[in-house]
Chains A and B, each alone.
Chain A
Amino acid sequence: MTESRSRGPESPEKAPGPQGPAAPATTVSVPTTAASFVEALQRSSGNRAVSQLLARESAPTAEGDPALVAPVPSEVIDEIKEPETLYGIKMPITVELLDMLTPGSKGSKDIDKGKSKGASGTYTYTKWSGKAFVKGASDRDEVDPNDIQQGDLGDCYLLAAMAAIARANPDAIRRLVRGPNADGTFDVTIYNDTGGLFKTEYTPKTVKVTPTFPTRGPKDSAPGSPAFAERGDFDPSGGGPELWVMLIEKAYAMQEGGYEKIVGGYGAPAMERLTGQRSKTFEPSEYKDFQVLATIRTYLQMGYAVTASADWYVRDAYKNEARAKGIILEHEYAVVSVDETKKTIDLQNPWGDVMNAHIKGLAVADFQKYFREVGANPVTARKK
């Protein structure tokens, strides 16, 4: 396993390897504590390299991080304080240098002044009056994974991350979004890596977000509807639509410099930006099938949010198979559950429920074949 890293969809990557040899029929009982899990996996796999890698992973905790144990501070941080020196070296600090050293901290200005370009043209902004959270009739919590509906923006990784976190711990989403304030804005917190070149350190940054979002124009179908992330549930008492997904998507875009800047990415680093906790990743094709299932099951039992990235570089011959199995390649999913008896995995597509595009009962062998990376995030700080 490796720590997550940001990478763009255009990055050249190795071609996916073929499915490995079938795993022996082995039953493994996996404890639910991290340490004993590593030991069990080492015993069951006999693969020291695997368990050494697992053991090396020690998610830095944010114990003591006030944002994780108390409500997000109400004050809004508008600017990055520029250090006088950088790593003890006196040098001119430029905006470009700070951007390079602190990815994801480019700005907090609202982005309504410009227009947002979508596939069908340029969208304009429309204000939506609503609530951050609304509990729908079928929701287990007002923050529910079924609130997620992707739109005409290639940020499946971000919406899958939201879905995975909402499933793991609704409170983790609730503490990101506060409001509405008296002026109708919401305070939305995103974590930025302020650790610089040699370490990762997530710092919460809260921005004011006006509830205005790109909407489809008169020449589009459904003019006036949100172009990107959709609204969630509607408040039956007339409080308007549920906005948390749209607000987080917009806050993320604000910090990256615009919606067009958040196209393409992976779930593991996106989860870090939403939780302030380091994600762990692994490639399913490098493990035996029972290890993949046991690892994901253990993460889910431990309350981790789990995402999975369907592969980018797949031959057309494989694409036909993927089509038949309902797998959308070059796409990010949230992992819902695993069945170790049937050796299957259920995945949530961030497109939403109405598309009938979730994946249920995917054979783990197909998961290993078509999914490049699994990301797991502890969501909240954990004791070592």
Chain B
Amino acid sequence: MTDEITLTETTVGVLGDARVGVANLMTEGEGMTAQLFLSDRESGPVIVGEGDVFAAGGGTWQVVSVEKTPGRHGSVTVRATDAT
């Protein structure tokens, strides 16, 4: 599976069997990070940036990009880590 999934800021997408809310994209250091609210994680949201790997919905996902244009909702693009 090579497909990337793009999640939009302030909306809810699905990764595996987990619902994932994306929030609060901001610049940290040299890149952008985002806050992900995962329906299968009870210990609070996670902060991710480009290249980070996180677990959700029974799989692991790598962040391909975090992008935001000021004044517009940003987006987080991920792909499954078993992608070829």
Contacts and interface: CB of A to CB of B under 8 A. Distances in A.
Contacts of A139: none
B26 A319 contact: yes
Interface string B21-50: 101101110000001011100101101000
B66 interface: no
Contacts of A329: 23-24
A120 B11 contact: no
Interface string A211-226: 0000010011110010
Interface string B41-66: 01011010000000001000000000
Contact of A355 (B8, B12, B28, B57): B12
Chain B interface helix/strand/loop/mixed: strand
B37 A357 contact: yes
A240 interface: no
Interface residues of A, number: 38
A119 B6 contact: yes
Kindly state the interface size class of chain B when it binds its partner: 20 to 34
A356 B47 contact: no
A352 B12 contact: yes
Interface in A329-377: 329-331, 349, 351-352, 354-357
A323 B46 CA distance: 10
A154 B8 contact: yes
Contacts of A356: 37, 39, 42, 44
Given A222-B14, A319-B26, A323-B47, A355 B39 contact: yes
Contacts, number: 101
A216 B71 CA distance: 28
A331 B10 contact: yes
Contacts of A313: 71
Contacts of B9: 330
A234 to B, nearest CB: 17
Most buried by A among B8, B15, B38: B8
Contact of B23 (A219, A222, A331): A331
Most buried by A among B19, B35, B45: B19
A10 B69 CA distance: 10
A9 B11 contact: no
A152 B11 contact: yes
A119 B71 contact: no
Contact of B19 (A322, A323, A354): A354
Given A119-B7, A151-B12, A216-B14, 13 more contacts: A152-B13, A154-B11, A156-B11, A221-B57, A222-B17, A316-B28, A320-B26, A330-B73, A331-B23, A351-B19, A355-B12, A355-B39, A357-B45
Given A351-B21, A352-B19, A120 B12 contact: no
A146 interface: no
Given A355-B37, A355-B39, A10 B23 contact: no
A120 B35 CA distance: 19
